[in-house]
Amino acid sequence: MRRLLLLAIFFISQPVFSGEVAKIYEEGVFGVKWGDPIENIKKEFPRGKREAYKQVIMYVIRDGRPLFDVKRKRNAFITFGFDPEQKLNSVGIDFQIEDYSKLLNNLDAQFGKHIMKSDNSTARIAIWPKDKGVELSLTMARAGFFSQEVKTSFNIIYTGE
């Protein structure tokens, strides 16, 4: 009986994180909405730059606002990504490599325990369960195939599911 009571107290005392991701990101991020065309992002962030890699369209801004109690460099990047119909469906926020552990802890506190999708010498990728079509990940990996620079990036992807 005592064990049952302790088990019940344990489950009741566990924080409930379900819905936190959607609560914060279901409509959009940084004042723009999921599905917005690039023109709407340009209105909100006029100093950005449109970039394309093959058929992938991105809009990149420099913005050093702190996130999740982690300071960022003043000229750090935020990259808005678009689907084939050129509607906003992702955001990538760059951090310093040394911010990875603090970010991981702060994101776990905000959204619940992460799942390690990859944890090797090539990349460390932590993900959180999809919530109302919104997926979060934190990645620490090389910036490119031939680059030695390692970057940390917090990613928000909207699938609308």
- Quote the pLDDT of residue 1: 37
Domain, as residue range, for 126: 17-158
CB 134 within 8 A of CB 156: yes
Q: What is the mean pLDDT of residues 106-129?
A: 92
pLDDT, tens only, 69-103: 999 999 999 999 999 999 999 999 999 999 999 99
Residue 49 lies in a domain: yes
Report the number of distinct structural domains present in the chain: 1
Residue 65 lies in a domain: yes
Distance CA 76, CA 104 (A): 19
Angle at 39 between CA 34 and CA 41, to 5 degrees: 50
